Structure 1
Amino acid sequence: MASHRKLRAAAVVCAAVAVAGPAPAVARAAPPAAVGAPAPAPSPDPFANLTPDEIADRAVAATQSATSLRMTGRVTADGEPLDIDFAVNDRQECTGVMRIGGGTAELRRVDDITYMKGDEAFWRVSMASQGMPEPQIDATIELIKGRWLKIAPGQAGSGDLGGVCDLKGLLADLDEDEEQRSGLVRGPDGELDGTPVATLVKKKTGGETTGGETPGGETPRPETTTVSVSEEGKPYILKMVKTGGDEPGSMVLSDYDKPVKVVVPPADETVDLSKLDQGTPA
């Protein structure tokens, strides 16, 4: 009954943005040099002897090795803008917020249990997308208003929601199609939150898109994907931007390998999904 498809779409689109191929950051501007002072020596380029495709390969390998990270940005799911802010680790634990259709929902997952709390706008959009009739939507919202929906393993939607919190599964998609990472061009270096980054860009025109026309017979729109790769420490992917095409979006990846703390909601603030399915009082 919840927005399982929307949440799943968030994860899929994040992966799609990454697979599409690496991308940009803001060009670095050198600080003005003091009069008479020697110009500072530029930092050595850690990717000086690598092609753009080889940089992308290293970035994907490093990012896939992460034990945790935070994803923040806006993507497009089923034609709708979707804002997400999730911290995820490799134990399928996560905590975060998503916004879609004017509504907001929080999601937490720990010990294979998923907790989800949405505002009224979120639940209405979610349940309407599942074809639920208006009277049932009203009654269900009354039961879960201001409370967390508790979803145990094996219950409806548990698998899809788990996919959103499956770090290894999401990062595995980065390697789904290596051809998408070929033919990249390195743009000017930049800086992202104080970290120097290498910029990789890939452009695709409608005629170059694999598969030719879309199922509806329309030629795919041209798109540009830009990825920022850290030049300090491990070559993690720090930002991905996709413009044009059918699924534009922007995603920042941060807090690599930092602990993800998931707080379990108090029992008196939760509603068990099985009770809603059975129509019993929460």
Structure 2
Amino acid sequence: MASHRKLRAAAVVCAAVAVAGPASAAAWAAPPAAAGAAVQQAAPRAPSPSPDPFADLTPDEIADRAITATQSATSLRMTGRVVADGEPLDIDFAVNERDECTGQMKIGGGTAELRRVDDFTYMKGDEAFWRVSMASQGMPEAQIDATIELVKGRWLKIAPGQAGASDLSGVCDLEGLLASLDEDRAEPGALARGPDGEVDGTPVATLVKKDTGKETTATAEGTAEPESAEPETTEPETTTVSVSQEGKPYILKMDKTGGEEPGAMTLSEFDEPVDVTVPPADETVDLSKLDQGTNA
């Protein structure tokens, strides 16, 4: 059986991966105002409903309705790619209002499955996922090999209070993810309505929030360059959010291009059941028991 140090290292890896994933997902679960800024990705043209359900609304009013509708969802699915600390992160999760979820994330060529049910979190990664995750934490090769041998082909069962439990549960916190929609709203008039489009066959209105590039003359040491130095310019960013024009005005897609965190996230399967299966006991490594020195 692995030592307490190795078991704790496995839990730390879970936490590190979770911090990169849920935080980014939460940032994407926001309208242009909450996301801060990004670059518009052209939406596909599609016939607009007649009459236009948002014809008499300002972009800010459309955003308010979209936020209210999306926050009312009892479940949804998030699919897409975000950037976490410069590393592309692909996620696909179904989440419900009971903080249950099931799905997977991909980073650095590796894949991990995540499930949460009955307040327990289960995580199962392939070797590539664990290796890139642990290497990013600066773990020595020998420790990485030992930990991978421990978790190979098995689910880590993380109990409430275990290291990494709160971070990993964040991706399954539907209320928390949607709460970010109310944060950092843009000033009135900062949003613009873009061309109508289509997301998976559903006609949508688009809302656009643009930002200009930022200039800096600071050096790596934090001191100012001489006035003659050429400023470093960050590419302008725009965020485009697609709002359903049929049924409830759910937010169906967020697109970012430009800047440091480009990506796209699609929301779907609103209010549909989320079925989460508890992994078989003989395929799990129970960290809460192992930390106490007992068998898994």
* TM superposition score normalised by structure 1: 0.87
User: Which region of structure 1 is more displaced relative to structure 2, 16-25 or 159-168?
Assistant: 16-25
Q: Alignment partner of 1:178: what SS?
A: coil
- Percent sequence identity over aligned pairs: 74
Kindly state the Cα deviation for residue 281 of structure 1 after the two structures are TM-superposed: 6.0
Other structure's SS at 2:207 match? strand
- The partner residue of 2:128 within 121, 124, 129 is 121
CA shift digits 1:43-81 (9 cap, x unpaired): 211101101111011111111111100000000001000
Identify the range of structure 1 (12-21 vs 100-109) with the bigger mean alpha-carbon deviation: 12-21
Q: Deviations over 1:180-214 (max 9, x none)?
A: 7851111121122221110111111124x9xx999
In the TM superposition, residue 275 of structure 1 has moved relative to its aligned partner by: 5.2
Specify which of 136, 160, 174 is matched with residue 167 of structure 2. 160
**Are the counterparts in 1 of residues 59 and 193 from structure 2 also a CA contact under 8 Å?**
yes
Corresponding residue to 1:15 among 18, 23, 26:
26
Alignment size in residue pairs: 268
Deviates more, 1:56-65 or 1:78-87: 56-65
Structure-2 change in CA distance of 1:18 and 1:113 (3 Å): closer
Q: How far off its partner does 1:274 sit?
A: 3.4
Q: C-alpha separation between the residues in 1 aligned to 2:100 and 2:175?
A: 11
Residue number in structure 1 paired with 2:179: 172
Q: Does 1:231 align with 2:249?
A: no
Is the Cα–Cα contact under 8 Å of residues 19 and 181 in structure 1 kept in the other structure?
A: no
Q: Does 1:77 align with 2:88?
A: no
Answer whether contact 1:17 1:225 (CA < 8 A) is retained: no
> Which segments of 5 or more consecutive residues in structure 2 lack a partner in the other structure?
1-11, 34-39, 223-231
Q: Distance in 1 between matches of 2:58 and 2:118?
A: 42
| Native 8 Å contact 1:66 1:256 kept in 2 | yes
User: Match for residue 27 of structure 1?
Assistant: 45
Q: How do residues 79-228 of structure 1 correspond to structure 2 at under 5 angstroms?
A: 79-179=86-186, 182-207=189-214, 220-228=234-242
CA distance in 2, matches of 1:125, 1:165: 23
Q: Note closer, same or farther for the CA distance 1:102–1:67 as it changes in structure 2 (3 Å cut).
A: same
1:166 Cα shift?
Answer: 0.4
Distance in 2 (alpha carbons) for counterparts of 1:227 and 1:214: 33
Match of 2:15 in 1: 4
Summarize deviations over 1:143-186 as a string: whole Å, max 9, x none. 11101010000000000001111011011011111127851111
Give the distance between the partners of 2:248 and 2:174, measured in 1 at CA. Answer: 18
The corresponding residue for 1:262 is 276
Give, in whole Å, the separation in 2 of the partners of 1:137 and 1:279. 21
**RMSD, matched Cα:** 2.5
